[in-house]
Amino acid sequence: MVCQFPEAAAVTNSYKLSGFRQHRFILLQLWQSEVSSMPWRKEQTADLQRVLRDVDSEIPLVLVSGNHDVGNVPTPETVAEFQQTWGDDYFSFWVGGVLFLVLNSQFLYNCSGCPALKQAQDAWLDQQLRLAEQHRCRHAVVFQHIPLFLQSIDEDDNYFNLTRAIRRELADKFARAGVKAVFSGHYHRNAGGTYQNLEMVVSSAIGCQLGEDPHGLRVVVVTAEKIIHRYYGIDELSEKGIGDDLMDLMKKK
């Protein structure tokens, strides 16, 4: 996912994410071998880190943990491994009056192996949402690996969404705090829906596809008034580039 902020002004980053050239960043939801496959995992990690070194150093990378990073049932050990390799598993940052919250959604899926870590994230999230509500930020946006829901807040529980009770509680919290959108992956297909004024955006993968979507990425443009996003297949992006309408928005000052 590539995010762009054409009308952003001052930048204040909770975790010192510096170098927001033209206020853009790349969001990566990692997908490696399962945490138990240590030999392959080490090779994959080294390979990915090598590739990421070729990304323009002035464009920050924002990494979101998922089930292939900390496990379907995370433990203090798997979370610590992620933190040592990639950094914090949940955090917030500001870009031009927009508050971004990055969550470890594996805690929300199954925290039986690390209840204290989930409690810590819950307390932190409540504090961040109070901040968003009090500061009346331009927008508040959440990034998490597992979607709240795929199409509807009332859909049945399955492997690719959060349980009804948890998703409803979170969605209500987000809506009260003024969160405009939640961006997720995990489903390996494009999906999404709305709940009150909250948009749930589920993006397919640049790698393994489980549906009929092309390998690709989502481009997100944030203006003072709205959040616009579009999924592009890699071939389409290579042949035609980003649409003129999005490019025009990116060029605005």
CATH number at residue 129: 3.30.750.180
Query: Which residues are CB-neighbours of 248 under 8 A, at least 6 positions away?
Result: none
Q: Give the pLDDT confidence of 66-123 residue by residue, as tens digits.
A: 998 899 999 999 999 999 999 999 999 988 788 999 999 999 999 999 999 999 999 9
Beta strands 191-195 and 61-64 are: unpaired
pLDDT at 14: 42
**Domain span including residue 143:** 2-251
Q: Quick one: tokens of 163?
A: 């349980």
Q: Give the whole-angstrom CA distance, residue 235 versus residue 238.
A: 5
pLDDT at 7: 35
The list of the chain residues with pLDDT below 50 reads 4-22
Q: Quick one: tokens of 156?
A: 């049945």
Q: Give the whole-angstrom CA distance, residue 90 versus residue 210.
A: 27
Count of domains for the chain: 1
pLDDT at 38: 63
Whether residue 153 contacts residue 195, with contact meaning beta carbons closer than 8 Å, is answered with yes
What's the pTM? Answer: 0.87
Query: Which residues are CB-neighbours of 245 under 8 A, at least 6 positions away?
Result: none
Whether residue 32 contacts residue 44, with contact meaning beta carbons closer than 8 Å, is answered with yes
